[in-house]
Amino acid sequence: MDKMLAKWQSTALSLFRFITGLLLFQFGVAKILKFPVIPQGNSYAFLNKVELMSLSGAAGAIELILGALLMLGLFTRPVAFILAGEMAFAYFIGHSPRGFFPLINGGTLAILFCFACLYLSTSGGGPYSLDAMMRKKS
């Protein structure tokens, strides 16, 4: 079973990088471009009210730009490292003051994104990335 699944490992890495970037990108789009409009009562409705020149606005700009780079697989290692730091910062500044347990303080996604990006910063973008294409050309 291990040998059968191992041949798909590099493809899964590229897919994992793309989906992680896409999910971070969607948060940036919601914060900066206000799309989609999130209905009141939804736990993410606060994204409708993010101001560009605020800490959340800066986070949105990072998520928008670096999420797009992560989707493309361009400069994957440094981009993922910066995003991991941003997510750790988001957790300790925005979530941990609300309580110790991530399930209660709403920080579960921040922790998951932090460690997903930390993994990508060590593993790279995989074979289906602009980084891999640039390596092949040189």
Query: What is the C-alpha end-to-end distance of the chain, expressed in Å?
Result: 36
52/45 Cα distance (integer angstroms): 16
86/78 Cα distance (integer angstroms): 12
Q: HEC profile for 8-71?
A: CHHHHHHHHHHHHHHHHHHHHHHHHHCCCCCCCCCCCHHHHHCCCCCHHHHHHHHHHHHHHHHH
pLDDT tens for residues 1-53? 888 899 999 999 999 999 999 999 999 999 999 999 888 878 788 888 889 89
Query: Averaged over 99-104, what is the pLDDT?
Result: 94
